[in-house]
Structure 1
Amino acid sequence: MNLIDQKVTHRRFGTGNIVHMSDSRVEIAFGEENKRFIFPDVFGEHLVLKDQEAARSLKQIIKQKESERQARESTAEKKKELQRKKHELRTELEGLMKNQKLHPQSQMVSWCEPEELEQVFAEWKVFSGEIKSGENKGKPNKPVRLHQNSAVLLTARDPGMPEQSRQIIGMYMVNEEFTGRLCEDGMIPAHSVYKIRLTEQESADMLFWNYYVNERSPGKTTWNTGKYRYFDNTVMAQILQDIVSKSDAEEQAMAQQFFDHFCKMNQITAGELPQPDGVLMRK
């Protein structure tokens, strides 16, 4: 906006003419003396344009600059708050898990057969399966990576359907007192609060292979053998975040609490999660 030669009135210096201006400064001649001011901050309370049309245009510019300033301050404040929360998470988790090293892949996905689903959700626990060979053959697998920061992801697929159609049907944090290395019977019980069963419609929108990649066969939707496998903490956070976004209003609060608790326990900052990058997302 060009305000050169516009007449102004200053409450202290009186009437003057604008003789020079830039994006951040304005110079005004008051008689034989020139004064410089911050532009556009000086206008309004201290300085008034006499031309009404120019004043209205300037008012819009001031309003826009104020919005931009508030946006910058808001961004800076959010960044500061994010750093504060990250520090709090680190401090709190150090206290919660001072005797437990946080493994980057301490989440479990379980293969649930259709006939066992009702029992799984009635009892809210899954079996880790049996050892297939060696001197401990037939004994339950010890889920040694599972601790209070761990979640169990429940998945299933309809008989006769390809593996890529595997759906996420529910999830739970492990029981508050559970420690995988001390588990002798292979049964993994759920937390008293953090557990979710998805509806059929919700499960249809939550394909497991949208999130997961088998590192041994990164281009394939291949499970191979076993009732469970470990997977990345970040991937579980991505799944929970999507559950929150897709839940209806009644379930959303619980899903959000689950997500927040999981992120706290795994030292994850929600705003820094990458997008899901499972096998199906790469095709």
Structure 2
Amino acid sequence: MNLLNEKVTHKVFGNGKIVGQDESIITVDFNEDIKRFVYPDAIGTFISLKDKDTAKSLKKIISKKETEQKAVEKKREEKKKQKTLELQRIKQLKNHKIHESSQIVFWLDENEQQSVFTDWQVSTGKIKSGPNKGQPNRAARLRPNSAALLTVREENQAETDRQIIGLYMVKETFAGNLSEDGMVPAHAYYRIKLTEQEAEKMLFWNYYKNKNYPHRTSWNSGKYRYFDNVWTAQILKDIMALKTDEEERKQVKSFLEYFLKMNLLDINHIPKACGALKQ
């Protein structure tokens, strides 16, 4: 706001006129006694504008700036707090030997799509080369804190259309590095199956992001890949929002609470999904 030539009153220096102004300083002439003040802090504290309409307009501007500044400071504090909590989480994960990407996502073939919701287990496949060729491919990161995410993509679909059709926690006694047959069995209770309509709204690439190539949506090869713990929590929250049946919502809520506990996550500090499709 332009305050040049505005008449003012100072508690000590008396009457004066503003003769200079920039973003942070105003210069006031008190009968050739030139003084500089911090703007806008001095207005209303040490200096009063004589024109009431100008003073009222300036007060609104200052109030708006203060509100904006408080919002910026609040956001900065929240970001700082989030960073501190994330560092604490990573430290806890290391102390508890929980990898920050200890979840697994499967690309189900046609047969598995038919059997997974009856057998509630998925194979990690066989090693394709090297001295251990033909042996079960052990997903070594998997522990009782891990969830198995189930995804599908038809041959005529683009990779960006990959859907999440369900997920389950692994069996509470399971350890991937000790698996003899390469099968990843489900927990007896924590299991979720999505309807076709729900799956259409749960696109895998809304959550998954290659940190080196955030816009890339390519699976390339392999039957499974590891998945971030936080991303899985985001998926569970979104599934809970999708469910309309009260009993199903309770089941998902119970699943989410168990998952958060097992992975040392706080529901209040789960960021919004920002996968490759959201970049």
1:153 pairs with 2:146: no
Using the alignment, how far apart are the partners of 1:47 and 1:259 within structure 2?
A: 59
Q: Is the 8 A contact 1:163 1:222 kept in 2?
A: no
CA drift at 1:230: 2.4
**TM-score normalised to the size of structure 2?**
0.69
Q: Gaps spanning 5+ residues in structure 1: where?
A: none
Deviations 1:23-61 (A, max 9, x none): 101122334533221101111233221112211221232
CA drift at 1:176: 4.1
Q: Is the 8 A contact 2:167 2:191 kept in 1?
A: yes
CA drift at 1:273: 6.9
Moved more, 251-260 or 200-209: 251-260
Out of 83, 92, 107, the residue aligned to residue 104 of structure 2 is 107
1:43 partner letter: I
Deviations 1:178-217 (A, max 9, x none): 211222354423357764332331112234577599xxxx
Three-state SS of the structure 2 residue aligned to 1:144 is: coil
- Residue 174 (structure 1) aligns with: 170
CA drift at 1:69: 1.8
Q: Is the 8 A contact 1:10 1:48 kept in 2?
A: yes
Using the alignment, how far apart are the partners of 1:73 and 1:203 within structure 2?
A: 39
Counterparts of 1:211-230 in structure 2, within 5 Å, are 229-230=223-224
Using the alignment, how far apart are the partners of 2:5 and 2:94 within structure 1?
A: 65
Using the alignment, how far apart are the partners of 1:219 and 1:31 within structure 2?
A: 70
Q: Is the 8 A contact 2:107 2:224 kept in 1?
A: no
- Residue 190 (structure 1) aligns with: 186
Three-state SS of the structure 1 residue aligned to 2:276 is: coil
Question: Cα RMSD (Å) of the superposition?
Answer: 4.4
2:170 partner letter: V
CA drift at 1:75: 3.3
CA drift at 1:262: 8.3
Q: Gaps spanning 5+ residues in structure 2: where?
A: 211-215
- Residue 115 (structure 2) aligns with: 116
- Residue 19 (structure 2) aligns with: 19
1:188 partner letter: V
CA drift at 1:81: 1.3
- Residue 28 (structure 1) aligns with: 28
- Residue 50 (structure 1) aligns with: 50
Moved more, 21-30 or 204-213: 204-213
2:200 partner letter: A
Using the alignment, how far apart are the partners of 1:6 and 1:138 within structure 2?
A: 86
- Residue 241 (structure 1) aligns with: 234
Deviations 1:60-87 (A, max 9, x none): 3212321332233123213311321122
Deviations 1:135-168 (A, max 9, x none): 999986544342345321123578xx74656632
Q: Is the 8 A contact 1:108 1:150 kept in 2?
A: no
Q: Is the 8 A contact 2:90 2:100 kept in 1?
A: no
1:107 partner letter: I
Deviations 1:219-247 (A, max 9, x none): 98887xxxx8221424x755653563463
Three-state SS of the structure 2 residue aligned to 1:43 is: coil
Number of aligned residues:
258
Provide closer, same or farther for how the CA distance between residues 174 and 118 of structure 1 changes in structure 2, counting only shifts above 3 A: closer
- Residue 213 (structure 2) aligns with: none
Three-state SS of the structure 2 residue aligned to 1:40 is: coil
1:5 partner letter: N
1:18 partner letter: I
Q: Is the 8 A contact 1:128 1:142 kept in 2?
A: no
Three-state SS of the structure 1 residue aligned to 2:202 is: coil
Counterparts of 1:1-150 in structure 2, within 5 Å, are 1-97=1-97, 102=99, 107-109=104-106, 111=108, 113-120=112-119, 125-128=120-123, 142-148=138-144, 150=146
2:227 partner letter: N
CA drift at 1:130: 6.7
Q: Is the 8 A contact 1:110 1:152 kept in 2?
A: no
CA drift at 1:109: 0.8
2:242 partner letter: D
